[in-house]
Amino acid sequence: MEKETKTVKLTPNTEESTASNPQKLTYEQLEQVARDLAMQRNQLQAHLQKAEQAIAEFNDLGVLLSIVNSGENFSSDFIVRCTNRIEKMVSVALDNYDRREQEAKKEEK
């Protein structure tokens, strides 16, 4: 059995290249592209996890606020715990916001 080889043609996203001038990649270049894509995938996966975590925290905050707003249905100790949790979540968010704002100001300078 003969081993069938295939050539992959890619056009890099540069101003110099055009669709009419495809570039044949060597095996090593193809491996490098695969490694780069895997690294980008990992970075995107990390961003996705952070976004999912933020959404979950936002949903938790909504539930906590609902509990506090309907406080007559819950014990006072539980309401205090929920209120403390809300304060903690909001203070962390404000600290993160302040830090990002300071970093943005440093970058402007």
Q: Please write the tens of the pLDDT for every residue from 40-53.
A: 999 999 999 999 99
Token couple for 28? 């090593």
Query: In this structure, which amino acid lies at residue 50?
Result: K
Q: pLDDT: is 80 or 4 the higher one?
A: 80
What is the pTM assigned to this prediction? 0.59
- Domains of the chain, residue spans: 9-108
Instruction: Tell me how many degrees the CA angle 73-74-78 measures, rounded to the nearest 5.
Output: 160
The CA distance from 45 to 58, in Å, is: 20
The CA distance from 69 to 51, in Å, is: 27
Q: Is the pLDDT of residue 1 over 50?
A: no
What's the average model confidence in pLDDT over 11-33?
A: 73
What's the average model confidence in pLDDT over 16-27?
A: 70
Host H or E run for residue 65:
helix 27-69
Q: Is the pLDDT of residue 88 over 90?
A: yes
